[in-house]
Amino acid sequence: MTDPLDGALADVVAPRPAVRRDDVAYSGRIIDVVRDDVDLGDAGTVLREYVDHPGAVAVVALDDDGRVALVNQYRHPVRSVLWEIPAGLLDVDGEDARLAAARELAEEADLRAGRWDVLADFLTSPGISNEALRVFLARDLSPVPEAERHERTDEEAGMELRWAPLDEVVAGVLDGSLHNPSTAVGALAAFAARAGGWTALRPADAPWAYRRGTLPR
C-alpha cells in the first residue's frame, strides 16, 4: 500500500475512526466541545477533546497603492485591542465563502472589491480545534455608499479603519507588534504572492478540503 505521506509536500485528509463520540460535552452559542475516542491502530485508543467550530474567512484588502485595510477590535480572551484584517465566521450553512468575505469586508471596513482571489487556507489550532480559515485577497476596491453601511455593535462599535503599507504590516508581524493569526498569515502570504507576480493566487472558488462539513466525522 502506498504511504499517503509520500510524494508532494501536502497535508493529507486521513481520518482515524472515532469508536465513540460525545457531541455535547459542551454546547455554546458559537462553539461546541466534542469528545472522541479515536482508534490509532497499533498506538491504541485515545480520548481527544476539541472545539467544533464553524470556520471563518478573512480578507487582505489591498488598494492601488499597496496598502492593506486594517481594523482594530477588542479581543477579550487575550485582553487586548488587536489590529486585524476584516474577518468573520462562516455561521450561515452553505454560504459561499467569497460572499461571506465580501459581507465582512463591507460590514467591518465599508469596502467593496471588484476582484477576489484565494491567498491561503490554514487551520488555526489543529490540536484543539477543527476551525478552518480561508484568507482572500480583495482588490479593485471602492467604498460602500453611506446609506448602505452596516451599523456596528458590541466590540465592533468602536472599530477604526487604518491603511498600512503591506511591507509595514509584514514588519509588524515579524517584530512581534501584530499578533492576529489571520493578519499574520494574510500579510505574509500577500507579500510572497506579490513577490511572485501574483501567479500563486488561486481562484475565489478553489476547493477547500477543511471547510466544516467536508471532513469525515
Is-catalytic flag, 156? Answer: yes
- Mean pLDDT, the chain, as a whole number? 91
Lowest mean pLDDT of 32-41, 92-101, 171-180, name the range. 32-41
pLDDT value, residue 94: 86
- Nearest residue to 72 (alpha-carbon basis) of 87, 91, 90: 87
Q: How confident is the model at residue 150 (pLDDT cuts 50, 70, 90)?
A: confident
**Where in the chain are the domains?**
1-52, 56-203
- Distance linking the first and last C-alpha atoms of the chain: 24
Distance (Å, whole) CA 191 – CA 35: 39
Beta carbons within 10 angstroms of residue 194's beta carbon = 16
How large a percentage of the chain has pLDDT more than 70?
95
> May I ask the CATH class of domain 56-203?
alpha beta
- For the cut 60, the answer to whether the pLDDT of residue 2 exceeds it is no
Give 41-77 pLDDT, tens digit per residue.
888 899 889 888 999 999 999 999 999 999 999 999 9
Given 84, 146, 148, 156, which residue is catalytic?
156
55: region left, alpha or beta (phi > 0 left; psi from -120 to 50 alpha) = left
Residue 27's pLDDT band (cuts 50, 70, 90): confident
**Crossing angle for the helix pair 181-195 and 166-174, to the nearest 10 degrees:** 130
Sequence-distant (6+) residues with CB within 8 A of 164 are 67, 68, 70, 172
Cell of 213: 462539513
Cβ atoms 90, 102 nearer than 8 A? no
State mean pLDDT over 114-128: 96
Extract the C-alpha cell encoding 153: 455593535
DSSP one-letter code for 211: S
